[in-house]
Amino acid sequence: MSKMFSKDNREAFFNALNFNNPIAAQVLGICSALAVTSQLKPAIVMSFCVTCIVALSNVIISLIRKTIPNRIRIIIQLVVVAALVTIVSILLKAVAYDVSVQLSVYVGLIITNCILMGRLEAFAMMNGPWSSFLDGIGNGLGYAAFLISVGFVRELFGSGCLFGVKIIPDCVYSWGYVDNGMMTMPAMALIILGCLIALHRYLNKNKDI
Amino acid sequence: MSNIIKKYFDKIRPNFEEGGKLQSLHSVFEGMETFLLIPNSTASNGVSIHDSIDSKRIMSMVVIALIPALLFGMYNIGYQNYLAAGVEGSFIEMFAYGFLQLLPKIVVSYLVGLGIEFIFAQVKHEEIQEGYLVTGLMMPLILPINCPLWMMAIAIAFSVILVKELFGGTGMNIFNVALAARAFLFFSYPTKMSGDAVWIANNQIFGLGNTLPDTYTQATPLGVVGGGSDITTSLQDMVVGLIPGSVGETSVIAIAIGAVILLWTGIASWKTMLSVFVGGALTAWAFSVLDMTPITWYEHLFLGGFCFGAVFMATDPVTSARTETGKYIYGFLIGFFAILIRVLNPGYPEGMMLAILLMNIFAALIDYFVVDHNISMRAKRTIKK
């Protein structure tokens, strides 16, 4: 047990959550972070899908890492990721059809999400399955933290809702409050993301990112 | 007079210095002192040739140049309100009404913007930068009169922090701060920034003016053109400025007075200003020859924010092109894109703001190519000999 949560493994998990965060520190996976965060629900579903896929593909690649010829490793990684993405996409259509329609192409585009290839290349190819699994979960959750924060701000100020339920009371609107239309545009997502990254750097300013 | 002020500042100075009880307001003190008096600090070594004009003096001149448009804007607010209500009003009543409508906006604009500048200056241990003096007065002038105060406050905070301070403060910003704030409002709250319900002040203040019904609408002439109808505005009203629109943009004459002040003091570049008009006129003329726009080329220049943008926004020395050839290209393209957006984009009846912001991005690129071209020309000339 103590070996399962050794210092290295704990670092693999918590580093990805905080100062090696895939979005804030590595600046990967920005495209989907802008595209699916106009509401909270798709942001959470997307984070969940990405977390599952990163963790599973990390484990699979890590298990077969010694048999992969170095020259064709990218293609093998892609095949594994593509298979997982297809499975998740089909499952999503079966379980939550409306969200999968909202996410549209972005579920399929998880294949091209840089976080996946980054983690496979940088971590799973060199580490055992258990620490690769922790690394995958950590990166997925780190990605999720930013997606959900951006989604929260955008849905709250863009349409006055959270999870589609009106949060800002009607009396505020009668005083003249108006929802900010720019929040529903990807441009504002980029600005919010920039502010969050700045905040993250400020909190970690003693560490060398 | 200036002696009395100087003595007073000298008297209260110790309070604001390191260890004084009002040290946290140090930057405010310094800002006020240099605004009213000539700065004490001068170059201490080397030979320096100084003009007596510094950036605070430049800003003051631009503020003076804005005053005709500001005063006319106030009168026009009242004029449009009384016209809409069909009530006779004297000149004084109209002007006082417009003054009372606009005053809160100017106050809020300066409070929010300067407040943020003061905080940044204090945190960064720098002097207060003077750029906001102009932006703060321009802000109310480029908004519809019915745009709520809180929206303007949010937009100014957004713009001053993200567009100006993050890039390094006055003189470092890529985009015109006032226009960036307007663009923020334009995309965030489109119902309060365009359409036909926001251009005429519709409430009474201290018994002045008339309350208009909520359903009262009056589009700007460009809005009417964008909607596909013919305008009935007379040419005289366009030039004098008695038309609905953003507060300061309507009067060509008032803006022309400002332009003369800016050109005479040498603050604005005549090259930029002229080429904006040339670019706009040629594009509008081409479209009217092709029968794609119902109004003539000179009406395109008189209506909307074209004049205001060309005189006060495009010539902003920070965000415009700096090379002399670059100024012609920069200005021409602003005029070109402004008319292009007006005529071809059915969603936006006015394109001046977007055109200037677009060219702000390209100003540095234009300069780069102008300099680069110059270098290669000179290299060729040397090789030939």
What single DSSP character describes residue A71? G
Q: How confident is the model at residue B38 (pLDDT cuts 50, 70, 90)?
A: low
Residues from chain A that touch B191, judged by Cβ atoms under 8 A, are 178
State the pLDDT at residue B169: 80
Residue B108 has pLDDT above 90, yes or no: yes
Q: A180, B189: Cβ pair inside 8 Å?
A: yes
Of B161, B192, B187, B163, whose CA–CA distance to A183 is shortest?
B187
Q: How confident is the model at residue B192 (pLDDT cuts 50, 70, 90)?
A: confident
State the pLDDT at residue B11: 79
Residue A40 has pLDDT above 80, yes or no: yes
State the pLDDT at residue A208: 63
Rounded CA-CA distance B314/B381 in Å is: 34
CB B345 within 8 A of CB B351: yes
SS3 state of residue A35: helix
Backbone angles phi, psi at A165, to 5 degrees: -100, 130
B49-103 pLDDT, tens digit each: 555 566 777 888 899 999 999 999 999 998 988 888 888 888 888 899 899 999 9
Q: Give the residue from A178, A188, A193 with the most B CB atoms within 10 Å of its CB, the best one to mutate.
A: A178
Q: Where are the beta strands (DSSP E) in chain A?
A: 161-162, 165-166
Q: What percentage of chain A reaches a pLDDT higher than 90? A: 18
- Greater model confidence, B107 or A176: B107
SS (H, E, C) chain B: CHHHHHHHHHHHHHHHCCCCCCHHHHHHHHHHHHHHCCCCCCCCCCCCCCCCCCHHHHHHHHHHHHHHHHHHHHHHHHHHHHHHHCCCCCHHHHHHHHHHHHHHHHHHHHHHHHHHHHHHHHHHCCCCCCCHHHHHHHHHHCCCCCCCHHHHHHHHHHHHHHHHHHHCCCCCCCCCHHHHHHHHHHHHCHHHHCCCCCCCCCCCECCECCCCCCCCCCCCHHHHHHCCCCCCCCHHHHHHCCCCCCCCCCCHHHHHHHHHHHHHCCCCCHHHHHHHHHHHHHHHHHHHHCCCCCCCHHHHHHCCCHHHHHHHHCCCCCCCCCCHHHHHHHHHHHHHHHHHHHHHCCCCCCCHHHHHHHHHHHHHHHHHHHHHHHHHHHHHHHHHC
State the pLDDT at residue A3: 66
Region B45-51: mean pLDDT is: 59
Backbone angles phi, psi at A161, to 5 degrees: -120, 165
Prediction pTM value: 0.84
Q: B150, A191: Cβ pair inside 8 Å?
A: no
**Among the listed ranges B40-54, B84-98, B203-217, B223-237, which one has the minimum average pLDDT value?**
B40-54
CB-neighbour burial class of residue A118 (10 A; exposed 0-12, middle 13-18, buried 19+)? middle
Q: A181, B192: Cβ pair inside 8 Å?
A: no
Rounded CA-CA distance A88/A45 in Å is: 11
Backbone angles phi, psi at B279, to 5 degrees: -60, -45
State the pLDDT at residue B40: 61
For chain B, the straight-line distance linking the first and the last C-alpha, in angstroms and rounded, comes to 64
State the pLDDT at residue B245: 87
State the pLDDT at residue B280: 93
Rounded CA-CA distance B36/B32 in Å is: 6
Region B173-197: mean pLDDT is: 88
CB-neighbour burial class of residue B190 (10 A; exposed 0-12, middle 13-18, buried 19+)? middle
Residue window 101-160, chain B: list those with CB within 8 Å of chain A: 148, 150-151
The residues that bridge with A165 in the sheet, in sequence order, are A162
The residues that bridge with B205 in the sheet, in sequence order, are B208
State the pLDDT at residue A59: 92
Question: What is the complex's ipTM, to 2 decimals?
Answer: 0.81
Residue B285 has pLDDT above 70, yes or no: yes
B310-344 pLDDT, tens digit each: 999 999 888 999 899 999 999 999 999 999 998 88
Query: Nearest CA to CA, how far is B209 from chain A (Å)?
Result: 22
State the pLDDT at residue B47: 60
What single DSSP character describes residue A120? I
Q: B151, A182: Cβ pair inside 8 Å?
A: no
Region A6-31: mean pLDDT is: 79
Residue A2 has pLDDT above 80, yes or no: no
A94-145 pLDDT, tens digit each: 988 888 888 878 888 888 888 888 888 888 888 888 888 988 898 899 899 8
State the pLDDT at residue A57: 92
Residues from chain B that touch A181, judged by Cβ atoms under 8 A, are 187-190
Q: How confident is the model at residue B271 (pLDDT cuts 50, 70, 90)?
A: very high
